[in-house]
Structure 1
C-alpha cells in the first residue's frame, strides 16, 4: 500500500510504526506484560462521583478516567498580585516587596520581587501551585526595616496594603490551639466552682458569662467560653490549663504549683492579683495582672503575645522569660540572681529596671526611670539592639555582641569602679556622661548617631538611615541586585518545574508522559519600575522516550522584535511572537531514551539561555510562569507544523492548524480549549511545579502516581499535590 507522506494516512501509519518500535525495544529490554481487564469507564465515573477527600479513585490507564468538563489539567494557576504601601518615609526612595510561598524564616521560597511606593503598587502575575492558598509578603524599607504579612489567595487574586513597621508583625489568623469540640471527657456550660481534675480528665469549659473553680492534680482544663470568672484555680502535679483563642477568663487567683504544670494562653486572661507561676507558661494572647508578675521555682515562660503587668515583674533565680512579643510593667522590671531575661521584641518598664542576673536584648528595652546594672550581672545587646533609659547606673557589665548596638541615656549616667561598657556598642548620653569611674572600650565608643531602624518591635529607633543609591534608579543599594546598573534592579528567580510530553499527536499515546521531559527554571530581571528587561533560563533535557525526532521550544508573551542578544538558543524566524528553540531533534541531543530500567542512560543535557527584552513589558503582562513550552515532530513525513502544547495553550504561527480535529484531537481555537483529545479530553502534555519523577516506559501515569486519577476525576479539588512524594502517592516500581 502506498502512503503519501504528510497525509493523515501517513500519520496513522507512522503512529503504528512508532508504537511497534517501542514495543520491540521493551520486549528486548524487559519482556512484555499483559494486564487484565479492569472496571469499565462508567463504573469508574460512578466511583468518582461518590468520592470525597478521603476516597481514592483507582485506574490503570488514562482511558479509565472520566475527565470533568472544562478540566484544564493544571497543577498551577496564574494569580494577580497587587501590593500597595502607605509608608511615605525616605522620600522618593523605593521600598522592596518580596512574595514568598511560606514564612521565609521557615523555608518559604521566593516567588517574586519588586518595588513599591505610596503612588505605585507592586503588581505581578505569578504562576502559583494549586496547593498554595496564601502568600507571605515582606516589605523592606531602604533602611532595611521590615514588615511581614500573610495574605490569602482569593480565587486568582491576592492583594493588601502595607504600612510602616510600627505594629506587631501581621501573620493573619494564627492557631488557637486545641478547642472544645473534641477530646473532652466533661463539658462545663454553667456555674461550677468545685471541679476536681485528675489524670486523664479533659474538662472543657464552653459556657460564657459563668463562674468556675477547679483543683487539678493532673489532666487538662480548656477554657473556650468568653467572660469566664475563675474564683479559685490550683494547678498541681502535671496538670495543664489552656485558654483557647475564643476564650477569655478572669482569675481571682491562679496558683500554678510545681515545675511540671503548664499554662498556655491563646485568648484573653486577666488576674485581679499577682501571678506567680511555678511551671511552664506560654502566652500567645494577652495576659493582664493588677499585681506583680513573679517567675519562681524554675518557672520557664515564653511570651509570643502581650503581657501587661499592673505592678512589677520579677524574674527570680533559676527562671527564664523569653519575650517574643510585648511586655509592659507599670512599675519595675527586675532580673534577680540566676534569672534570665531574653528580649526578642519590646519590653517597657514604666519605672526602674534592675539587672542582677543575665539580660540578653535583641530588640528594644525601654525604661522610664533608672536602670541599674548591678555587680556581677551582664546586660548583653545583640546585633542592632537598643536599650533606652532615663538614668543609668553601671556596676556590672554592658556588652555588645555581633553588629553594633545602642545604649541611649536621656538624663544621667554613673559608671562606678567595677562597671564596664565593652565590645560592639555605641553609648549615647545625650547630656554627656556625668560620672565615669569604670571602663568604656574594647570596641565600645561614645556617640549618638548609630542608626537603629523603626521596626515592628522597636517603635523608637534612632538616627537617620544611611541610604546609598549608586545608580540613581530609586532603589537603595541594599535592596538592588544591580546597584551600578540603572536599567536593572530585581531578580525574579523561582523554583524548578517540569514539562512532560506525549509525542504521537494528533493521536493519543501510551500516557507514560516521558517522550520528552524537560526541567526548567527562570530568572526574570526587572528594573525599578517592575518592567521586564531580561530573561535568564536553565532547561534540562532528562528523557527522550521515543524514536521520533522531536524538537523543543518555548514561546514567550512578547513580540519577536522585542528580543535581542539571545544566547544559548535560536530565535525562530517566521514567528510574530518570540519563540526560542533549544533543539530540533532530540535524538541528536540524547543517545538513549532514559526511560527503560536496566538499559544504558545518557547524561542530562543542560541548556543555559538568556536574552534581553525591549519595550519594557510589565510583570503583569509578561508574568512569572511556564510560558508556552512545546514540542514538534520533526521526523520525515511530519514536520515543523506538528506542534504539541500544554492543554489550553495556543499554537505558534508555524503550527499546522489543519491537524486540529483530526485523529484524536479536539482542539477548538474559538474557545481556547486546545490540545485535548476528542474521546475523554486527555492531554498530550502536563506541567508540574516540581522536579517531576516521570514514569517508566509504557507505564501509564495512573500506575505510577496513585492519586492522579482522583485529582482528575475531582476536577483538581482532591490531591492537588498528586505529583509529590507524599506517603502512598507513588508506585516506585513504575517510576524511572
Structure 2
C-alpha cells in the first residue's frame, strides 16, 4: 500500500514539475509505460521518415583543367558566391592535378540552392563555378514565347553584281520646264536617257502601259516628288538630285540603281512597297523616314550611303525601315536614328562581311544579321527582335533591350563599346530589362561592358566548342529570373556580382576581370587576351580548411520523457572547424574544433561529449590537445570522464572526446540554476565558455569528410559519466557503447537499435536538433514553436517547407541578449 502511495506521489510531483524547465525523468525507471503530454499539442505528429535534419549531403567531384600536369590546383567548396558575398564559408577543400579527381562529401544547410566550386590553378588564376543542389535548379527551364515564323529567317539576302547598260536606242529627254508636257509623255516598255541637265516636266501614264526606263547620264532633278513604275539607272558620272522636295518617293514596282561613280542627293528619300534600290555609288540624303514593307535597299561593297539627319525636324527616326536593308558597304547616319521595325512585319536587316554601319542610335527590330561592323552610341529595341551578331556590334554609350522576349544571337561575335587601337573597350551600360529576352553568345563570342544589368532574361551559350565570355569590368546586377547557361565564362570584380538572384548552370565559371583562360578574337582579328598568370607552382602545403559556419546544438534533458520543448536545457554552438590536409591525397593531418557553451536551462548536472562517427578510437594515436581560452585548464572540465592516455574515453569503438562534465560549473556557477534562459536574471553570465581542442595524426589516413558536421555526434549526459549512463543525442545519431539503451522504446521514446532509429519519440519528435546558424534560443518555459513562427510548419511538412524557419523569430520569445 505504501509503495502505491509513493508511486502516485511521484506522478503528482512530475505533473507539478512541468511548470518548470525540467521534470524528474528518473520516474521512467519505475514505469516505462508512463507518457507525458505531447509538448507540441495532442494532435501534433511529425511525418514518418522525418529525420529533423536541417542539412543536406552531396558528393562534389572536381577534375583539374590546368595544363601543368606536375602541379596541383587548389579546390574549395563554398556555401555562397565569393563574387557576391564576403560572408561565405569553406565547406570542403583539397588539391587535384591532371589525371586525378578531387572528391569529397559536402554538408550544407537545406536552404542553400547552390554550392560554389572555387579553383585556383598552378598559375594563380581563380575560377568559380556553381553546383545547383537546391530546388531552384528546377527553374532552369523556362517558357519563352515563340517568335513568329518567317521563311526568310535563315536566308542571306541576295548580293547583286553591278551591271553594264547599253543605252543605244534610248530616247533622249531634252528641254526645260517651258516645254509642253505632252512632248514628254513616257511610255511603258521604252527607255529614256538624260544626257544634259534636264529640268523638263514629264507626264507618266506608264502604269497603264508597263514599266519604262530612265538612264541618268548627267544631273537630273525630277519634276515631281514621286516616280513610279520606272527603272531609274544613274550611270557613272550621273546624279539624281531630289533636293527640291521635302520628300521623294520611289513608287510601287520601281527600281533605282546607282552605278559606281553615280550619286543621289536630296532631303528625304522613301521607297514604296515592292521597290528595289541598288547603290554601287554614293547616296547623300537627309533622311530615309519610310522604307516600306517588301522594299529592298541594297548598298554594295565600296558603295556609300550617308544620312545627314539635317532636316529631320520633329521626326523621331532618320531611317525607319519596314523592308530590307542589305548593306555591304558604308552606311552612315550622322544625326538621328536607324530603326528596324518590329517583328510583326517582314522587315529584315543585313550588314555583310566587311560592311560598316555608323549611327548615333540603332533600334533593333524584326530579323537582322550583322556579319560586319555596326558602330552606335546607343542600341535599343523595338518589339521582339531576332538579331544575329557574327562580327562587331558596338555601343559607345549604352545597350538596352527592355520589354522584349526576343533574341540576340552571337556566333564568334563581339558586343562591346568599340575599339581603341588594339583594345576592345567596354560599353558603359549593358541592360536586358524585363521581358524574358534571350542572348546567345556562342563559339567564342563576348559581351564586354562596365556595368551589366540583366532582369528576367537569359544569357546562354552552346554546350560545346570555344567558351564564350560575359565580361563586366565594374558590376553585374540580376533579377530572380535571370539565367546563365552553357559554355560560358563570366568576369566580374569580386564583391560586385549580384547577391545570388539568378539561376546559373554548373558549367558556367566566374573569374575576376581578365582572369579567364578564354581568348576572344574578333572578326577584325583584335583579341581579348586573358591574364597569363604567374609561373606555375603548387599551393602551400599543408592545405588549411577553416569552416566558420555556426552549427547550434539544442537539447531537451528529459529523455525518454518529453520536456517543455523550449530546447534550451543545453545550448552549444560549433564556431569553427579546421583541418590541415596532406599534399598528395587530401588526408587529415590535424583537426581542430571550437565549441561554445552558451546556455543551460537544466536544473541538474549535465555533461557533454562528442563522438566522431567517422573516426575509430584506434585512429587516435596522439593526445587530444585542449586549448586554454581563459587561463583555466580545460582538462578540469572533464576530470570525471574515464580517459586513456590520448584524452579519449576508454571502452569506445569510435573516438569520444569529452567537452565538460558539469555545464553549470563550466559557466562559472556552483548551483544548478538556469543560466542565460531568463532575460535579465541574476544567474545569467555574459562570458560564455569556449571549448577548443585539436587532434594530430602522425600518419594521415582519414579523409576530410570523416570530420564533416554530420559525423560530429555531440551529445549530453544527464546522470554521470559511468557505464550505462543516460545519453541524449541529436535525432538520428547513434549512442556510444557506454550508453544505457534499456529505455529505448519506453515512455515517450521510440528508438530502436535494430531499425537504427535513435532518439525520436513515438510522435517522431526529437530531444536534440542541430540548427545551421548562430541560433537565438527560446526563453525559459517558451515552446520553440511559439518562439519561431515557421517551426511548426517546417516539422509538419517533413522538412519540405519553411526550410529557413530559424530566420523568423519572435523577439519577445527568445533570449534577449542574443537577439539582433
Q: Distance in 2 between matches of 1:262 and 1:60?
A: 69
Deviation at 1:15, TM superposition (A): 5.9
**Structure 1 equivalent of residue 82 of structure 2:** 104
Q: How far apart, in 2, do the equivalents of 1:500 and 1:287 lie?
A: 63
Q: 1:262 to 1:489 in 2, by over 3 A?
A: farther
Superposed, which structure 2 residues align to 1:251-290 within 5 Å?
Answer: 271-273=349-351, 289-290=370-371
Query: Residue 39 of structure 2 contacts residue 562 of structure 2 at CA under 8 Å; is this kept in 1?
Result: no
1:490 aligned partner: 544
Q: What is residue 579 of structure 1 aligned with on the other side? A: 656
What CA distance in whole angstroms lies between the structure 2 residues aligned with 1:9 and 1:526?
59
> Residue 310 and residue 721 in structure 1: after superposition, are their counterparts in 2 closer, same or farther (change >3 A)?
closer
In 2, Cα distance between equivalents of 1:69 and 1:643:
24
Match of 1:534 among 568, 590, 595: 590
Give the deviation of 1:309 after TM superposition.
Answer: 5.6
Partner of 2:751: 667
Task: Give the Cα separation in 1 of the matches to 2:110 and 2:450.
Answer: 43
Query: Is residue 142 from structure 1 mapped to residue 127 from structure 2 by the alignment?
Result: no
Alpha-carbon deviation of 1:120? Answer: 2.2
1:84 Cα shift? Answer: 2.6
Quick one: distance in 2 between partners of 1:262 and 1:62? 67
1:610 aligns with 694
Q: Paired residue for 1:565, among 623, 629, 645?
A: 623
Q: Distance in 2 between matches of 1:653 and 1:8?
A: 32
Cα distance, 1:116 vs structure 2:
1.6
Deviation at 1:74, TM superposition (A): 0.7
1:695 to 775, 778, 783: 778
What is the aligned partner in structure 2 of residue 515 from structure 1? 569
> 1:156-213, CA deviations, whole angstroms, 9 ceiling, x for partnerless residues?
xxxxxxxxxxxxxxx9999799955xxxxxxxxxxxxxxxxxxxxxxxx65444899x
- Give the direction of change, closer, same or farther, for the CA distance of 1:340–1:701 in structure 2 (3 Å limit): same
In the alignment, which residue of structure 1 is the partner of 2:799? 716
Pick from 658, 665, 681 the counterpart of residue 599 of structure 1.
Answer: 681
Contact 2:79–2:89 (CA under 8 A) maintained in structure 1: yes
Deviates more, 1:94-103 or 1:562-571: 562-571
2:559 corresponds to which residue?
Answer: 505
Structure 1 residue 23, shift from structure 2 partner: 8.2
Q: Note the C-alpha offset of 1:308.
A: 7.8
C-alpha change, 1:555 and 1:327, in structure 2 (3 Å) is: same
By how many angstroms is 1:624 displaced? 4.7
d(CA) in 1 for partners of 2:518 and 2:570? 50
Where 1:719 maps in the other structure, the secondary structure is coil
2:95 matched residue in structure 1? 115
1:546 aligns with 2:602: yes
- Which residue is 2:69 aligned to? 91
Structure-2 separation of matches of 1:294 and 1:173: 39
Secondary structure class of the residue paired with 2:742:
helix
> RMSD over aligned Cα, in angstroms?
5.3
What are structure 2's unaligned runs of at least 5 residues?
24-36, 154-292, 296-313, 317-322, 328-332, 401-409, 431-448, 452-472, 475-492, 494-513, 521-527, 627-633, 635-646, 816-820
Contact 1:497 1:688 in 2 (8 A): yes
1:692-732 deviation per Cα after TM superposition (whole angstroms, max 9, x unaligned): 111111111111111111111111111111112xxxx3222
Q: CA deviation at 1:281?
A: 9.5
Change (3 A) 1:453 1:695: closer
For residues 656-700 of structure 1, the C-alpha deviation after alignment (integer angstroms, 9 at most, x for no partner) is 11121222211111111110112x111101111111111111111
Contact 1:60–1:703 (Cα < 8 Å) also in 2: no
SS at match of 2:83: helix
Preserved contact between residue 518 and residue 529 of structure 2 (Cα < 8 Å): no
Q: How far apart are residue 496 of structure 1 and its match?
A: 0.9
Deviations 1:79-102 (A, max 9, x none): 2222233x2521221111111223
Q: Larger C-alpha radius of gyration, 1 or 2?
A: 2
Q: What TM-score results when the alignment is normalised by the length of structure 1?
A: 0.56
Equivalents in 1 of 2:725, 2:7: separation in Å?
13
Contact 1:123-1:620 at 8 Å conserved across structures: no
Given that 2:394 and 2:416 are in contact with CA atoms closer than 8 Å, whether structure 1 keeps it comes out as no
Deviation at 1:143, TM superposition (A): 0.3
> Structure 1 pair 123/551, CA: closer, same or farther in 2 (3 Å)?
same
Q: 1:146 Cα deviation (Å)?
A: 3.2
Deviation string for 1:275-311 (max 9, x for gaps)? 76767999xxx99513432222x6699xxxx998667
Contact 2:66–2:73, Cα closer than 8 Å, also in 1:
no
- SS of residue paired to 2:805: coil
What residue in structure 2 maps to residue 466 of structure 1? Answer: 535
> 1:211·1:231 contact (CA, 8 Å) conserved in 2?
no
Residues 314 and 599 (structure 1 numbering): CA distance in 2 closer, same or farther, change over 3 Å?
A: closer
Residue 735, structure 1, aligned to residue 820, structure 2 = no
Contact 2:607–2:662 (CA under 8 A) maintained in structure 1: yes
Determine the C-alpha separation between the residues in 1 that align with 2:95 and 2:67: 14
The match for 1:68 among 47, 63, 87 is 47
Q: CA deviation at 1:503?
A: 0.3
Query: Corresponding residue for 2:198?
Result: none
Hey, what's the Cα distance between the residues in 1 that align with 2:597 and 2:363?
55
- Partners of 1:90 and 1:145 in 2: how far apart? 13
- Hey, what's the Cα distance between the residues in 2 that align with 1:177 and 1:496? 36
- Confirm or deny: 8 A CA contact 1:270 1:289 kept in the other structure: no
Mapping for residues 210-609 of structure 1, pairs under 5 Å: 271-273=349-351, 289-296=370-377, 328=413, 334-335=419-420, 341=426, 455-456=517-518, 465-468=534-537, 476=538, 479-480=539-540, 482=541, 488-520=542-574, 521-528=576-583, 529-556=585-612, 557-563=614-620, 564-568=622-626, 570-590=647-667, 591=669, 592-600=674-682, 601-603=684-686, 604-609=688-693
Compared CA separation, residues 703 and 624, structure 1 to 2 (3 A)? closer
Deviation at 1:133, TM superposition (A): 3.2
Change in CA separation of 1:333 and 1:20 when aligned onto 2, cut-off 3 Å:
closer
Q: How many residues matched?
A: 493
Unmatched segments (≥5 aa) in structure 1: 25-40, 42-58, 156-170, 181-204, 213-229, 240-249, 346-358, 362-381, 384-401, 403-451, 469-475, 483-487
Q: Distance in 1 between matches of 2:735 and 2:398?
A: 69
Distance 1:178 1:631 in 2: 52
Question: Aligned to 1:81, which of 60, 74, 79?
Answer: 60
Separation of aligned partners in 2, 1:177 and 1:280: 29
Return the offset for 1:527.
Answer: 1.6
For 2:97 and 2:802, the matched residues in 1 are separated by 39
Task: Give the SS at the match of 1:710.
Answer: helix
CA deviation digits over 1:569-623, x for unaligned, max 9? 6522332211111110112122352111231321221122211135521134443
Q: What is the aligned counterpart of 2:740 among 649, 653, 656?
A: 656
How far apart, CA to CA, are the structure 1 residues paired with 2:558 and 2:340?
65
Q: 1:697 to 1:211 in 2, by over 3 A?
A: farther
- Contact 1:314 1:335 (8 Å CA) reproduced: no
- Alignment-derived partner of residue 366 in structure 1: none
Identify which range, 566-575 or 286-295, moves more after superposition.
286-295
Q: CA deviation at 1:78?
A: 2.3
CA contact (8 A) 2:39 2:564 kept: no
How many Å apart are 1:65 and its aligned residue?
A: 2.2
1:342 CA drift (Å): 6.1
Query: How many Å separate the matches in 2 of 1:10 and 1:525?
Result: 57
The alpha-carbon distance between structure 1 residues 88 and 502, as it changes in their structure 2 partners (threshold 3 A), is same
Deviations 1:94-150 (A, max 9, x none): 111111223220114322111122332111122221222332212221002233322
User: How far apart, in 2, do the equivalents of 1:12 and 1:607 lie?
Assistant: 38
For the 8 Å contact 1:252–1:271, the answer to whether it is kept is yes
